[in-house]
Each structure stands twice: as C-alpha cells, then as structure tokens.
Amino acid sequence: ETGVTQSPTHLIKTRGQQVTLRCSSQSGHNTVSWYQQALGQGPQFIFQYYREEENGRGNFPPRFSGLQFPNYSSELNVNALELDDSALYLCASSLGSIGIAAGELFFGEGSRLTVL
Amino acid sequence: EDQVTQSPEALRLQEGESSSLNCSYTVSGLRGLFWYRQDPGKGPEFLFTLYSAGEEKEKERLKATLTKKESFLHITAPKPEDSATYLCAVPRSGGSYIPTFGRGTSLIVHP
C-alpha cells in the first residue's frame, strides 16, 4: 500500500509567477484535500476534491485552483504568486468525503514553496 | 466562525515527566474532534478521533479525552521520540467533516 506522495518537495518562484503542485493519493482513497501551512501555524484548508469535483473550499482567492483526475491524483495551481503564498502545501487523502472518517486524513510530506 | 485554540504553544519536558496539552474549541454542535502529530518538515500524522464528550482513546504513552468544551492530550512518561507538534482539529461548520486545525503545541522532551 503506497502512501500520499507530493511533488516537487521544494521550489522557489518569483512574485507574479504561476505554480503547479502534484499529489498522488493513498491507494483506495477517492478524496483529496489541500492545505496551506505557514511557518508556526496550523494547516489552513484550501479545498477538497471528491470524484473529480470540488467538494468544499476554504477562504482562499480564486487564483488558487485545483483538479482531480480519474485515478484520484490531484493538482493545486496558484496563479499570480504573492510573497505571502510562501508556505508548506500539504495534500491529504481520505476514504470518502462524508462521515467522520472524512476527517481522518493521510497527509503527504508537503511541497515547500518559497516566493521571492 | 469555528475556532480551535491550543495551549500551551510550546512545552519542554524532561524524559519521564508527564503532562497534558489542551485544545479548546468554539463550534456549534460538536461532531467529533481529531488529534494529529506533526514532525518537523513532515505532514501531520493522524492519531485519534474522539466522537463525543466523555470518550477516551489511548495509544502508547498518549491518552486523549474529550469534554463538551475541550480536549486534553495526556502524555505519560514521555520519551524524546515523542517530541513533535501536536495538532487538534474539529470538523468545519456546514455539515462536512473536513478538519479545521489549531496552531498546535510544540513538545520537546529532553533525555
């Protein structure tokens, strides 16, 4: 059984650029959530995808967008990068999107984004 | 708006010195609570789900309890490998169970 994998692990961008982060969910999990974690903070919910459709969104602007593919892998895209977008971006998968089991998330190790 | 507050922000213990971490929350109608552990530079690792007030869960040296207003994570006779940030989370309002996280408690256990 493979866990959640994310790529790239680290990347540096400049303000105004665009970035795509990728995630492969744990085997058998059909729901993917993305979180942003700034230094010293808890993870902040960006959005969730269930069976290729957005299933919930946090307080993030539209320049944060995502996709989920038929194999349940996912992408997070951020346009017009700002300095405050520098953070650890975490992908998590879960077995389903409803019921309390949906809160039992399996996280990847994250993608560390630095915006200069 | 849902809010999760964890205290203390940081805690230093000697090996074997038991203590407790606190998680208080303001949600309308608690529908469970989650505890996670996060090692530096890693993603959080799921520890426990507590479903209702009065419930307790244990795993090795960790014991989580839940009341109607707060949760405690008790650490008994900790070891250096218990050093990590411990995150508490509650389901978002609106019916989903997507976790809303607190800022965490950074625990360091000295040998």
Phi, psi angle pair for A87, to nearest 5°: -175, 175
Mean residue pLDDT of chain A comes to 94
Mean residue pLDDT of chain B comes to 94
State yes or no: pLDDT of A7 exceeds 80.
yes
Of the candidates B42, B87, B91, the beta carbon closest to that of A103 is on B91
The mean pLDDT of A27-51, rounded to a whole number, is: 94
Which of A5, A31, A37, A46 should be substituted to probe chain B, the one whose Cβ sees the most B Cβ atoms within 10 Å? A37
The mean pLDDT of A16-43, rounded to a whole number, is: 94
B1 and chain A: CB distance < 8 Å anywhere?
no
Q: What pLDDT was estimated at residue B28?
A: 76
In this prediction, residue A26 has a pLDDT band, given cuts at 50, 70 and 90, of confident
Is the Cβ–Cβ distance between A38 and A89 less than 8 Å? no
Of the candidates A90, A92, A104, the beta carbon closest to that of B49 is on A104
Element (H, E) at B20: strand B19-26
B103 and chain A: CB distance < 8 Å anywhere?
yes
Is the Cβ–Cβ distance between A73 and A22 less than 8 Å? yes
Contacts of A44 in chain B (CB under 8 A): 101
**Chain centroid, CA A53 distance in Å:** 14
Residues 4-43 of B with CB under 8 A from A: 4, 31-32, 34, 36, 41-43
A33 token code pair? 């959530």
Determine whether the interchain pair A41/B97 forms a contact, defined as Cβ–Cβ distance below 8 Å.
Answer: no
The dihedral of CA A15, A18, A24, A25: what is its sign?
positive
Q: What pLDDT was estimated at residue B93?
A: 81
Three-state SS string over chain B comes to CCEEEEECCEEEEECCCCEEEEEEEECCCCCCEEEEEECCCCCCEEEEEECCCCCEEEECCEEEEECCCEEEEEECCCCHHHCEEEEEEEECCCCCCCEEECCCEEEEEEC
B97 and chain A: CB distance < 8 Å anywhere?
yes
Q: What pLDDT was estimated at residue B80?
A: 97
Q: Give the number of other Cβ atoms within 10 Å of residue B32's Cβ.
A: 19
Is the Cβ–Cβ distance between A14 and A78 less than 8 Å? no
State yes or no: pLDDT of A1 exceeds 70.
no
State yes or no: pLDDT of A8 exceeds 90.
yes
State yes or no: pLDDT of A45 exceeds 80.
yes
Q: What is the pLDDT of residues A61-79, one digit of tens each?
A: 999 999 999 989 999 999 9
- The whole-angstrom separation of Cα B70 and Cα A25 is 32
B102 and chain A: CB distance < 8 Å anywhere?
yes
State yes or no: pLDDT of A25 exceeds 80.
yes
Q: What pLDDT was estimated at residue A68?
A: 95
In the numeric block, the tokens 């977008």 are attached to: A85
A44 and chain B: CB distance < 8 Å anywhere?
yes
Burial class (CB in 10 A: 0-12, 13-18, 19+), A4: buried
User: In chain B, which stretches have pLDDT less than 70?
Assistant: 1-2
Of the candidates A4, A42, A108, the beta carbon closest to that of B104 is on A42
Q: What pLDDT was estimated at residue B2?
A: 58
Q: What pLDDT was estimated at residue A37?
A: 98
- The whole-angstrom separation of Cα A103 and Cα A56 is 13
A95 and chain B: CB distance < 8 Å anywhere?
no
